[in-house]
């Protein structure tokens, strides 16, 4: 009997660093998926049908029609999605418990550190000064720029003795960190003193799955420095 092909995973996506984590992972894992664009600049994340999948009104999210026991399952939060996909396939998560611990701690480092800090740095360095009225706040710019620099140094030290973040194998930790780390110029960072990060960024960028996952809907993003409506939706007060 011929094995049934897996049903495509529904990917709710917009081309941001968090979104790219999941498109890259799906490409690396060779899992079929159907893309549903969630235009966060237009407010798609607040639509009731999306909130039923992602109640925190954030993308990415997935719905796997072949979830546990064959029943569909929605998953939101990019880190949780990566862990789910790794468990589902038995890939990108380490070969034993020691490796899995290494993967998970660096995944948490990205979720709790690099992602939030780099996001704030990007906001205060790139977007806030162009808002109406301008919000050019030197303390915030210095605070987040400096913290991102510290985190890049931590990453460089880890990569000095490892080909990949968690060891000698590609994992969901690399996939989580790379989309945030690759934008170092926008965070006003330098790689001149971080050769290991530079090597790792280039190494992963050359992988076809990273290239495909990064290219997905890359032309859809608006310029948040000039799109006032998107600024209000993304940066305004939401009840």
- Give all domains of the chain, ordered by start, each with its CATH number: 9-91 (3.40.30.10), 97-205 (1.20.1050.10)
CA–CA distance, 32 with 46 (Å, rounded to integer): 26
Q: In the prediction, which pLDDT does 223 show? A: 67
Q: Which of 232, 155, 147, 138 is nearest to 193 (CA)?
A: 155
Which pLDDT does position 234 carry in this prediction?
Answer: 64
Confidence at residue 230, expressed as pLDDT on a 0 to 100 scale: 63
pTM: 0.93
pLDDT at 236: 66
Q: What pLDDT does 238 receive?
A: 45
The percentage of residues in the chain with a pLDDT greater than 70, rounded to a whole number, is 92
pLDDT (0 to 100) of residue 239: 40
The whole-angstrom separation of Cα 219 and Cα 21 is 17
Q: Report pLDDT for 232.
A: 67
Q: How far are the Cα atoms of 12, 18, 51, 60, 235 from residue 229, in angstroms, in the given order?
A: 22, 22, 21, 21, 10
Q: Which residues of the chain have pLDDT under 50?
A: 237-239
First to last CA, the chain: 54
């Amino acid at each position: 009997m011929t094995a049934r092909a897996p049903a495509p995973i529904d990917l709710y996506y917009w081309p941001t660093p968090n979104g790219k984590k999941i498109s890259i992972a799906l490409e690396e894992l060779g899992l079929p998926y159907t893309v549903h664009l969630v235009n966060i600049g237009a407010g798609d994340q607040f639509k009731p049908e999306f909130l039923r999948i992602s109640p925190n009104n954030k993308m990415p999210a997935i719905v796997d029609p072949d979830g546990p026991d064959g029943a569909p399952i929605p998953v939101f939060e990019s880190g949780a999605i990566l862990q789910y996909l790794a468990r589902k396939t038995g890939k990108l998560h380490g070969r034993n418990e020691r490796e899995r611990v290494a993967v998970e701690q660096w995944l948490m480092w990205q979720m709790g550190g690099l992602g939030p800090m780099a996001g704030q740095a990007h906001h205060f360095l790139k977007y806030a000064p162009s808002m109406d009225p301008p919000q050019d706040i030197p303390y915030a710019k210095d605070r987040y720029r400096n913290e991102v620099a510290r985190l890049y140094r931590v990453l460089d030290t880890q990569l000095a003795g490892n080909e990949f973040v968690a060891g000698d194998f590609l994992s969901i930790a690399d996939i989580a960190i790379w989309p945030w780390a690759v934008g170092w110029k926008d965070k006003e960072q330098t790689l001149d003193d971080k050769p290991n990060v530079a090597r790792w960024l280039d190494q992963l960028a050359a992988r076809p799955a990273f290239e495909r996952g990064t290219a997905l809907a890359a032309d859809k993003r608006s310029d948040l420095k000039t799109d006032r409506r998107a600024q209000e939706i993304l940066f305004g007060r939401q009840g």
